[in-house]
Amino acid sequence: MKIEKDFYKNLINQTADAIVAIDKNNTIVFINRSAEILFGHNLKNISGKNLNILIPDRFHKKHNTDIKKFLTTGQDAQYMGDRKSFIVGRHADGHEIKLGANIVRVHNGNGYVYAAILRDVSWRIELLDDLSEQARLDPLTGQLNRRSFLEIAANECERANRHGTNLACLFLDIDRFKALN
């Protein structure tokens, strides 16, 4: 049994994903090495503290509501977010981290422990934002391009139809713009 326990402990501490476990009172009971690195806290200093220490203040209320909701569902696992969304964590130095997360419920013999398996997706979100920006803007002028115009026009037409209002569009022709271009 000791060998098996050491095996699982080593497995959890060697995984690249951060793992943060809390009890039903949102008290941190465990973080693995990857979580220590990701959040800049070590297990000894963070164990017994409220999970909110790892979450920016503006998200405390919503996060607490989401946790309560998860606790009442009886689900054993839930994926948080999708390829374009994320949750936000807070590093010990205060900077924010965009995270992908899976939440799991595990019985430890004394009751349930809730663990978040987290990965830093900041780079992916920033890349998606950059690509979206490049798709919307003309590289020379930095102005919205035709694709953006058509998207905005479609949205405005929908809104005008929905509210029963008129819509107008003004086009300008700039003389000798090709020479500038």
Express each pLDDT in 137-164 by its tens digit.
888 888 888 888 899 999 999 999 999 9
- Separation between Cα atoms, residue 144 and residue 133, nearest integer Å: 9
* C-alpha to C-alpha distances, 72 to 6, 65, 140, 176, nearest whole angstrom: 32, 11, 53, 66
Q: Tell whether the model's pLDDT for residue 84 goes beyond 80.
A: no
- Minimum mean pLDDT among 26-40, 61-75, 155-169: which range? 61-75
pTM to 2 decimal places: 0.69
Is pLDDT at 75 greater than 70 in this prediction?
Answer: yes
| Confidence grade of residue 29 (pLDDT, cut at 50, 70, 90) | very high
